[in-house]
C-alpha cells in the first residue's frame, strides 16, 4: 500500500484538524497514512514515503511559523521530485502566505500538487473541498 506522510504545525488545532481529515480521505483512497506534528517527524521516513503532505497555518505577517520554516528549509532539497501537498488554516485575507511557500517548494524541485487553505476551522464547505483535494492528490 502506498503511503502519505503528513507533517503539520498547529497552534490552536485548526491545521491539525485538516491534517486528520486529509488522512481519513486518503485512507478512503487506499493509502496508508502517518499524521505527525512536524517536531516529531521522522525525516527519513517522511522523505521516503510515496507522497508527502505538509501543513502550517498563517503566522507572523503572512508567513510560515519560524520553526516550521526551518524544518521545511532543512528537508526541502530531499523532497525534490516528490509529489507534495501543502495545507493550512489562516485567519483573514485569503491565505496568501501559501503562495510564497508554494514558490519556494517548486524552486527546490518539489512536485507540488497544490495548496489547500481554510479560513479558521474547517466547515462543511471546507470538508467538501478537502475531500476533492485529497482524492485528486491520491490519484496524482
Which stretches of the chain bind ligand FMN, using CB under 6 A? 10-15, 57-62, 89-93, 120
Task: Enter the DSSP assignment of 49.
Answer: S
Of 79 and 126, CB closest to ligand FMN: 126
- Classify 121 as helix, strand or coil: coil
Query: For residue 19, what is its C-alpha cell?
Result: 491534517
Of 82 and 89, CB closest to ligand FMN: 89
Of 14 and 33, CB closest to ligand FMN: 14
Find the shortest distance in angstroms from Cβ 128 to ligand FMN.
Answer: 19
Q: What angle do CA 53, 5, 89 make, to 5 degrees?
A: 35
Find the shortest distance in angstroms from Cβ 19 to ligand FMN.
Answer: 9
Place of cell 509529489: 83
* Spatial separation of the C-alpha atoms in residues 49 and 36, rounded to whole Å: 13
Of 28 and 91, CB closest to ligand FMN: 91
Find the shortest distance in angstroms from Cβ 36 to ligand FMN.
Answer: 15
Find the shortest distance in angstroms from Cβ 14 to ligand FMN.
Answer: 3
- Where would I find the beta strands (DSSP E) of 11-122? 32-37, 51-55, 83-90, 111-119
Q: Which residue is nearest to ligand FMN (CB)?
A: 91
Amino acid at each position: 500500500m502506498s503511503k502519505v506522510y503528513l507533517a503539520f504545525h498547529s497552534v490552536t488545532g485548526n491545521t491539525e484538524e485538516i491534517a486528520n481529515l486529509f488522512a481519513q480521505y486518503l485512507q478512503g483512497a487506499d493509502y496508508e497514512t502517518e499524521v505527525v506534528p512536524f517536531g516529531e517527524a521522522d525525516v527519513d521516513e517522511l522523505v521516503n514515503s510515496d507522497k508527502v503532505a505538509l501543513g502550517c497555518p498563517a503566522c507572523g505577517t503572512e508567513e510560515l511559523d519560524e520553526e516550521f520554516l526551518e524544518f521545511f528549509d532543512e528537508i526541502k532539497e530531499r523532497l525534490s521530485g516528490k509529489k507534495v501537498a501543502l495545507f493550512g488554516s489562516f485567519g483573514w485575507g485569503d491565505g496568501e502566505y501559501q503562495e510564497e511557500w508554494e514558490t519556494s517548494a517548486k524552486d527546490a524541485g518539489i512536485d507540488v500538487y497544490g495548496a489547500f487553505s481554510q479560513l479558521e476551522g474547517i466547515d462543511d464547505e471546507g470538508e467538501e473541498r478537502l475531500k476533492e483535494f485529497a482524492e485528486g492528490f491520491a490519484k496524482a
